[in-house]
Amino acid sequence: MTTKLVQNFIAFFFTFLFGVFLSSKLIEGQLWLLPIPVILTFSIYYLFRLDQFLMFIVFCSPFSLSLTELGFFFENVDISFPTEFFLFGFLCLVSFKMFYQPELFKKILGNKITFYLFIYLLWMFVCSITSTMPFVSLKLFITRLWYIIPCFIFATLIFYKNHNRIVHFVVAYCISFSVVIIHTLIKHSAYSFSGPSSNWVVAPFFDDHTSYGAMLAFFIPILALFCSSSKIKISYRVISFFCFVLFSIALIFSYTRAAWVSLFGAIILGLFVKFKFKLKHFIMFSVLVLFILFPFRHQISSIVSDNKQDSSSSLTEHVRSIYNIKSDASNMERINRWNCALSMFKEKPILGFGPGTYQFQYGIFQMHKDKTIISTNSGDMGNAHSEYLGALSETGLIGLGLLLLLITTIFKKGISLYYSEQTDLLKTYLLGSVIGLMTYFIHGLFNNFLDMDKAAIPLWFFVAIIVYVDMQRSKI
């Protein structure tokens, strides 16, 4: 009898004994034992099949709910269940693995993207120590770690061992997200797909329509590429096509103007990448557009200044409201938050107020002339509505510089790899990742979602795809 057969026999024998024991206790009415098999299953996955368990977390992320939504109230603690609960355990296990098996992660940790990411994290830690609210900042710092270590570091290792996991990740997230989308569209239909209702029909799975729209735009490019790739299994191509159509419809009815702008901008930039336009071509194109528009600058200024179209249920009117900065409350409030972030930066230009502190500190920096009908005197309405100005106010000029350096490195590496890669499947992965990340970082001009599991998990997975391909190239 082989060693594997012996192991299987022992496992079956003890499983049978446990089943008999559990059945006898359930007959006696001890129903509290029912969760034990589920807990044991998860524990086994944690210990022996981390790759599959990470895919399970990815699948769960669109369904995740905050503890508050679930009816559990803890002072100063509100995490997403089950994703952040599992990711914290994952962080501990992967950190332990990195300490005792550093050779597994050597190439990942030596990558340029990883290097700049760790420099940024180091600065964030320094700013957390000097923060105006150290507990808040350190909590946010740990949150970033439980996204980055499992969904970037460990995901890269998974992809390096089996690149098919990339497709599995995208499909796992999109299938569960599709259920959320269908649920949202059904709720939305009860209100005739009106614009105002789009902001709250996404509950309880999303806080508002902006994060919902951002994730729709994020996945649409890679789904479109999967549909058209002959290198991907037909079953995954069919699923990708269904999701692409569904996500596109949902994006329209999300009424998320920033998501529309980010997707349009990312597609244009993606075409520049696909057709190998160089930076000088992009600069020449930009100069040409400015040259053509310059004679009409007064007319354009007049159109912008005279635009009083507010957000609307009409799609054409809603598009027009994108550049209304005179009367649209959403746009004006965004400018108010940006001005607050700049004022906070001026007060603490080097170290900032500390990661995660903007939402607690911006209230006193509001100017009366900037306030809108949706502003509050206490300043308790959320974040800076910009990844970049948020970083500037919370981690200072150095923090913003390191963030921009990291983003630039990610895109520079992703695009250069796309140009040099010969394998069609890897080119599909790269182009989908680069355009998807472009949608997010363009959207980052108007909103910030890196602290939200539904956005952070796929974003770091896409960065992991670029690092994986870079590691593959280094083997050649």
Q: What is the DSSP string of 268-305?
A: HHHHHHHTT--HHHHHHHHHHHHHHHGGGHHHHHHHHH
pLDDT at 476 over 90: no
**Tens digits of per-residue pLDDT, 152-187?**
999 999 999 899 999 999 999 999 999 999 999 999
Phi, psi angle pair for 353, to nearest 5°: -85, -10
Q: Report how far residue 398's alpha carbon sits from residue 392's, in angstroms, rounded to the nearest whole number.
A: 8
pLDDT at 102 over 60: yes
- In this structure, are residues 441 and 269 in contact, taking their beta carbons and an 8 Å threshold? no
Q: For residue 206, what pLDDT is reported?
A: 92
Q: For residue 319, what pLDDT is reported?
A: 45
- In this structure, are residues 83 and 453 in contact, taking their beta carbons and an 8 Å threshold? yes
Mean pLDDT of the chain: 83
Tokens found for residue 102: 């550093």
What percent of the chain shows pLDDT beyond 90?
A: 51
Give the model's confidence band at 232: pLDDT under 50 very low, under 70 low, under 90 confident, else very high.
Answer: very high
Tokens found for residue 219: 């996945």
pLDDT at 475 over 70: no
State mean pLDDT over 78-91. 85
**Tens digits of per-residue pLDDT, 314-342?**
444 444 444 444 546 677 888 889 999 99
- The angle formed by the CA atoms of residues 331, 334 and 335, to the nearest 5 degrees, is 90
**Tens digits of per-residue pLDDT, 372-394?**
776 776 656 678 889 999 999 99
Q: For residue 333, what pLDDT is reported?
A: 85
- In this structure, are residues 184 and 250 in contact, taking their beta carbons and an 8 Å threshold? yes
Query: In 3-state terms, the chain is what percent helix, strand and coil (to 5)?
Result: 75, 0, 25
Q: For residue 130, what pLDDT is reported?
A: 96
**Tens digits of per-residue pLDDT, 347-371?**
999 999 999 999 889 988 888 777 7
Q: For residue 471, what pLDDT is reported?
A: 92
Q: For residue 314, what pLDDT is reported?
A: 45
What count of Cα atoms within 13 Å lies in the side-chain half-sphere of residue 221?
Answer: 31
Please list the residues that pair with 297 across neighbouring strands: none
Q: For residue 331, what pLDDT is reported?
A: 77
Domain ranges of the chain: 74-278+380-475
Q: For residue 309, what pLDDT is reported?
A: 44
Give the model's confidence band at 271: pLDDT under 50 very low, under 70 low, under 90 confident, else very high.
Answer: confident
Q: For residue 382, what pLDDT is reported?
A: 73
Q: For residue 100, what pLDDT is reported?
A: 85
Give the model's confidence band at 472: pLDDT under 50 very low, under 70 low, under 90 confident, else very high.
Answer: confident
Flag the least confident range among 46-55, 243-252, 454-463: 46-55
In the block, tokens 């998320």 appear at 256
Q: Report how far residue 260's alpha carbon sits from residue 221's, in angstroms, rounded to the nearest whole number.
A: 13
Q: For residue 50, what pLDDT is reported?
A: 81
Q: Which residues contact 151 (CB under 8 A, 6 or more apart)?
A: 54, 87, 456, 457, 460, 461, 464
pLDDT at 17 over 90: no
Phi, psi angle pair for 66, to nearest 5°: -70, 155
Flag the least confident range among 93-107, 130-144, 292-306, 369-383: 292-306
pLDDT at 4 over 60: no
State mean pLDDT over 120-145. 95
pLDDT at 188 over 80: yes
Give the model's confidence band at 303: pLDDT under 50 very low, under 70 low, under 90 confident, else very high.
Answer: very low
pLDDT at 22 over 80: no
